[in-house]
Amino acid sequence: DIQMTQSPSSLSASVGDRVTITCRASQGISNYLAWYQQKTGKVPKLLIYAASTLQSGVPSRFSGSGSGTDFTLTISSLQPEDVASYYCQKYDSAPFTFGPGTKVDIK
């Protein structure tokens, strides 16, 4: 099975900072990758699908890139409401594995 890793596992940044989270698949998954945001005590929310397509209603400061095995989620200017855990997920074929998550805090 393809394994998904994320780095870093957590980060602390200042408001306005550019934040980058990396997701890596152990084998190529083309662009079948989604990113989800989960705030504490809340339901996960889709941010990006097909590696780089922004879900409707998601602020444009979020962006995704990558293909194959290496992917990134970027927040161009971190806002207080972006404090959350972020998960990548492969959906090319089963099992549809999630990455372990990255927790983002405000410094």
Partner 1 sequence: EVQLVESGGGLVQPGGSLRLSCAASGFTLSTYAMSWVRQAPGKGLEWVSAISGSGGSTYYADSVKGRFTISRDNSKNTLYLQMNSLTAEDTAVYYCARLSCSSSSCQSPPRNWIDPWGQGTLVTVSS
Contact 97, 3 (CB under 8 A): yes
Window 30 to 89, contacts with partner 1 (CB under 8 A)? 32, 34, 36, 38, 43-46, 49-50, 55, 85, 87, 89
Q: How far is the CB of 14 from partner 1 (least distance, A)?
A: 25
d(CA 41, CA 29): 30
Residue 2 found at the interface with partner 1 (CB under 8 A): no
Interaction site with partner 1 (CB under 8 A): 1, 32, 34, 36, 38, 43-46, 49-50, 55, 85, 87, 89, 91-101
